Amino acid sequence: MSLRPCGAVLTAAGLIGVAAVLLGASPAAAVAGATPATAGQAPFAVRLTMTHIPRSDGTFYDSACSAALISPTTIITAGHCFHDVNRNPVSGPVPYSTMATLNTNDLAVSSGESRSVLSVQQSRSTDVAIARLSASVTDVTPLGLNRTKPATGSIVTLAGWGATSSVNPSPSTVLRVGRLKITSVKNSYVYVVGYAPSTETSACLYDSGAPYFTTPVAGAPLLVSVESDGPDCPHTTPETTARVDNIASWIRSVVADLP
């Protein structure tokens, strides 16, 4: 499976299931065919800004991904968002300067809160990474983890900071949300298609790592999967997302302050 790249923000994007389109890869956008989030909606949704990312030819570029806060000090995103010059996922100190911004739905209205990302730990079984922040976030409730196998036919919500089209994509300054339907569940991945506002609602460049979560009428939202890969957006075909229920025990072993 080829991962959607973290876009080279050189003005472009990131892997959609992997990150945003890294130059040489394709980017991920701010959820195509979606609607702008309202104030206070999904404050746990994180915008990742990466700068001075090295290429194997000695040049550099900027990019972006999406993520979600899962503890006061930790975010979850796509593993491919953090990689070496050969695009291999890496663990340890972040390989390039990365800033996490959350608790806002529109950067033109509110800058939200920002933290530096210090270190990253890659899952060994799927396209998921856990990253530690430079300081705790104390005024945002972290997104809980789903612990049961997702059900085919159920509806999840996607919140991302990616582009809205694969044509001249760039990271969004507005958080967008859309609803998608689960079409199948495999060992490590969940496949989803657009549901609302339209069947073309889909992740895009720079949406890599964006959370797919349940939105129960009563109770807190739970993270089902994170964006990993997909076709150019907008589209109506299945998007590949990485499950979290079957790696929840690993996440707990890595994140000491998981709620």
CA distance 218 to 201: 25
User: In CATH, what number does 144-245 get?
Assistant: 2.40.10.10
Tell me what the pLDDT averaged over the chain comes to: 89
pLDDT band at 25 (very low <50, low <70, confident <90, very high): very low
Whether 4 has a pLDDT exceeding 60, the answer reads: no
Q: What is the pLDDT of residues 212-223, one digit of tens each?
A: 999 888 889 999
Give mean pLDDT, residues 72-87: 97
In sequence order, the 6+-apart residues with CB closer than 8 A to the CB of 206 are 6, 7, 9, 13, 14, 19, 20, 21, 27, 28, 29, 30, 63, 64, 65, 66, 160, 161, 162, 163, 169, 170, 171, 172
Give mean pLDDT, residues 49-75: 97
How many secondary structure helices (H) and strands (E) does the chain include?
1, 15
pLDDT band at 15 (very low <50, low <70, confident <90, very high): very low
Whether 22 has a pLDDT exceeding 90, the answer reads: no
pLDDT band at 3 (very low <50, low <70, confident <90, very high): low
pLDDT band at 30 (very low <50, low <70, confident <90, very high): low
Query: Among 16-30, 46-60, 119-133, which stretch is predicted with the lowest mean pLDDT?
Result: 16-30
**Can you give the pTM of this predicted structure?**
0.89
Give mean pLDDT, residues 184-200: 97
Query: E-strand spans in 134-203?
Result: 144-145, 155-160, 176-185, 189-196
Cross-strand pairs, 175: none
The DSSP code for 162 is B
Whether 2 has a pLDDT exceeding 70, the answer reads: no
CA distance 236 to 205: 16
pLDDT at residue number 18: 35
Whether 21 has a pLDDT exceeding 90, the answer reads: no
Query: Among 34-38, 49-53, 62-66, which stretch is predicted with the lowest mean pLDDT?
Result: 34-38
The token duo for 241 is 């997302």
Q: Is 258 or 215 the better-scoring residue by pLDDT?
A: 258
Whether 110 has a pLDDT exceeding 90, the answer reads: yes
Whether 57 has a pLDDT exceeding 70, the answer reads: yes
Q: Over pLDDT 70: what percentage of the chain? A: 88
Whether 113 has a pLDDT exceeding 80, the answer reads: yes
